[in-house]
């Protein structure tokens, strides 16, 4: 069940579903579990900081050179530049950094952030949805 070299996470999930026998279930790990993401263009994004604070997330959102993605379960949604601020407004209300208290019984979705970089220095902020 390992990811093949150069294979995106979405491609791996599709391949595993196609390889499964009827009635057989497979567990697919979170996209960041391997510490990297390979996008559809073949760029390798490596985790640099998996404990992004609210302040850092806000700063990265305002930095035009930072790409943005939202992770829900095993799906990665790459956010277009014209949707960045709307996406941040949707996520920021329940964004939880490493120093923020978690809302234990609240059924609201909560987001955390992970910063990834490429060898060329490009940055990607992943906002991860956590549901209760």
Helices within 66-121 (DSSP H only): 84-92
Q: The tokens of 54 are what?
A: 């609210």
Q: The tokens of 4 are what?
A: 């093949």
Q: 53-88, pLDDT tens digit by residue?
A: 989 998 998 888 899 999 887 788 999 988 988 998
Query: pTM (2 decimals)?
Result: 0.71
Percent of the chain past pLDDT 70, that is, above it, reads 69
Q: 105-115, pLDDT tens digit by residue?
A: 556 778 899 99
Q: CA–CA separation, 89 vs 40, rounded Å?
A: 26
Higher pLDDT among residues 46 and 103, named by residue: 46
What is the band of 103 on the pLDDT scale with cuts at 50, 70, 90? low
Tokens 């604070």 locate to 53
Question: Tell me, what DSSP letter sits at residue 69?
Answer: E
Pair 116, 108: CB distance under 8 Å: no
Pair 112, 96: CB distance under 8 Å: yes
């Amino acid at each position: 069940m390992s990811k093949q070299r150069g294979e995106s996470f979405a491609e791996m999930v599709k391949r595993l579903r196609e390889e499964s026998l009827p009635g057989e279930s497979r567990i697919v790990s979170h996209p960041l579990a391997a510490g990297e993401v390979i996008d559809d263009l073949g760029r390798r994004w490596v985790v640099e900081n998996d404990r992004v604070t609210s302040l850092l997330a806000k700063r990265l959102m305002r930095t035009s050179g930072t790409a943005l993605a939202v992770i829900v379960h095993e799906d990665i949604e790459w956010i277009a530049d014209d949707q960045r601020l709307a996406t941040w407004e949707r996520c920021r209300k329940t964004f939880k950094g490493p120093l923020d208290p978690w809302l234990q019984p609240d059924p609201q979705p909560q987001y955390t952030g992970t910063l990834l970089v490429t060898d060329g220095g490009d940055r990607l902020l992943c906002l991860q949805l956590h549901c209760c």
